[in-house]
Amino acid sequence: MMSNFNSKLSLGAIMLTVSLILISCESYLDIDPPTNQIVGEVVFSDQATIEAGFAHIYSQFRESAFPAGNPTGMTYLMGMYADEMEYAATNDLEAKSFYDNSLLPSNNSVQNLWNTGYSLIYAANRILEGVENSPSLTEMDKDRFIGEALFVRAYIHFNLTNLFGAIPYITTTDYRINMKVSKMETAIINESIVKDLMRSKELIGISETGISHFRPNRWVVSAFLSRVYLYQGDWQSALDEAQNVVLDSGSDLEPNLDDVFLGNSQETLWQLDTRSPGTNTNEAYHFVVLSGPPNKATLSQSLLESFEEGDKRSVSWVGAFSNESGTWYFPNKYKLYLVTETTEEYSILFRLSEQYLIVAEASAQLGQIDQALGYLNEIRGRAGLQPLEGLEQEAVMEAILKERRAELFMEQAHRFFDLKRTGLADAVLSSEKPFWEETDIHLPIPESELLINPNLLPQNEGY
């Protein structure tokens, strides 16, 4: 597997470095192209290398990039940055900086989120350019691969802009351009994300082949579009896309909470394959507490107290470890931390319950209160909670955000992003986090990027 990027690599240098290597399923293989050639289509021109390229991207999602379910990923880091996790280690000062909201632009974990994100955007652009220039692929395969690469590009940019704010939107592999890119306002970034996703949806829809949940298909694109539209406040579009997934994707809510995160869960839309048969998730390996005091992080008292009485999720999805030193609570959605005979759990990036909550929120914003409560109560009912009735719009919105916290905790930074997009981050986190400041709404742009490319200035406020 490719080693971590040096923290001093600029965005352009990342692109140049990656341009000189060929992707295999789980590792890069060196190649030796002409030094004056911008490498792109020369590598990704046939189905085998393109499939290997996607395999690499998804392995990095699993192991080291922002979706990773380990201490390098945003589930862990942003869980501490917000109010889901409490720091419990003694020697991980970089992680403690997230918990204390005291990040510096030199923080290596911040640098890793940026570097891995842009290196994989580059990989997606490499695939796009190779596919479009390939003489050997069928038009159907071209459509499928282009649609998938556009989805990946949009997905990474979406998470980067929600972490960092204004960022570059990279659409080329030419490092001479990427060395000098400037930040774009979030409105322009969002337009680019939607543009990529709309084309992705069209192409993947045309060439849909019923591939497994390990690869995004048109339902995943629609699910992601619903999330994007929700964040943008485009309620009708969010509602349309989410209802499309709920009603037509063939997925369904798992009635039993203990089955939701199993590999064969019927509500999974997109999950990441494991590194080898029998291995399970990084989330279980890193989050399950087997001894105390724990050496990473534990669930916050704030989160534990937010569950309603009788909420089955506080039992099924929350684990506890006790000894003479105390009791610690941890995320227990993924339970299998050891190797099993066959893989039984996979890290899930999109699942159907989020779509129910998007339908509920978009409906409430549009004044369709009965529909909002209907979808909300489906999620509450599975958790053993009584249905809500007779609420006004404001109360429904509060109930939906509370439900999102209970349903989506410690999954892909949903909590922090929800607080941010609803304008509640400062009010909520300033009362719970003693070092929180209003400017902490964005992570800092890595200082090495600003030194090498002044076009990325100014630094985010507060840093």
pLDDT digits (tens, 9 = 90+) for 410-450: 999 999 999 999 999 999 999 999 999 999 999 999 999 99
AA identity, residue 308: E
Q: Would you state the structure tokens that stand for residue 227, as one six-digit string?
A: 């999330």
Tell if the pTM clears 0.85, that is, is over it: yes
Cα–Cα distance, 284 to 332 (Å, whole number):
7
pLDDT, tens digit, 9 for 90 and up, residues 272-323 = 999 888 899 999 999 999 988 898 899 999 999 999 999 999 999 999 999 9
190 pLDDT band (50/70/90 cuts)?
very high
Task: Determine the pLDDT at residue 332.
Answer: 98
pLDDT, tens digit, 9 for 90 and up, residues 327-357 = 999 999 999 988 888 999 999 999 999 999 9
- Reduced 3-state DSSP string for the chain: CCCCCCCCCCHHHHHHHHHCEEECCCCEEECCCCCCCCCCCCCCCCHHHHHHHHHHHHHHHHHCCCCCCCCCCHHHHHHHHCCCEEECCCCCHHHHHHHCCCCCCCCHHHHHHHHHHHHHHHHHHHHHHHHHCCCCCCHHHHHHHHHHHHHHHHHHHHHHHHHHCCECCCCCCCHHHHCCCCCECHHHHHHHHHHHHHHHHHHHHHCCCCCCCCCCCHHHHHHHHHHHHHHHCCHHHHHHHHHHHHHHCCCCCCCCHHHCCECCCCCEEEEECCCCCCCCCHHHHHHCCCCCCCCCEEECHHHHHHCCCCCCHHHHCEEEEEECCEEEEEECCCCCCCCCCCCCECEEEEEHHHHHHHHHHHHHHCCCHHHHHHHHHHHHHHCCCCCCCCCCHHHHHHHHHHHHHHHHCCCCCHHHHHHHHCCCHHHHHHHHCCCCCHHHHCCCCCHHHHHHCHHHCCCCCCC
Average pLDDT of every residue of the chain:
90
Model confidence at 26: pLDDT above 50? no
pLDDT, tens digit, 9 for 90 and up, residues 225-254 = 999 999 999 999 999 999 999 999 999 999
Cα–Cα distance, 404 to 242 (Å, whole number):
15
Task: Determine the pLDDT at residue 89.
Answer: 81
- In the block, residue with structure tokens 């989160």: 303
Number of residues that make up the chain: 463
Q: Are 373 and 308 in contact (CB under 8 A)?
A: no
Task: Determine the pLDDT at residue 11.
Answer: 61
Model confidence at 453: pLDDT above 60? yes
Q: How far is the CA of 333 from the CAs of 41, 64, 259, 411, in angstroms?
A: 41, 20, 10, 10
**Least confident span in 39-43, 95-99, 150-154, 359-363:** 39-43
Q: Would you state the structure tokens that stand for residue 306, as one six-digit string?
A: 């937010």
Q: How would you classify the pairing of strands 347-351 and 268-272? A: antiparallel
Task: Determine the pLDDT at residue 5.
Answer: 37
Domains of the chain: 252-409 (1.25.40)
**Least confident span in 5-14, 357-366, 369-378:** 5-14
Model confidence at 192: pLDDT above 50? yes
Model confidence at 395: pLDDT above 50? yes
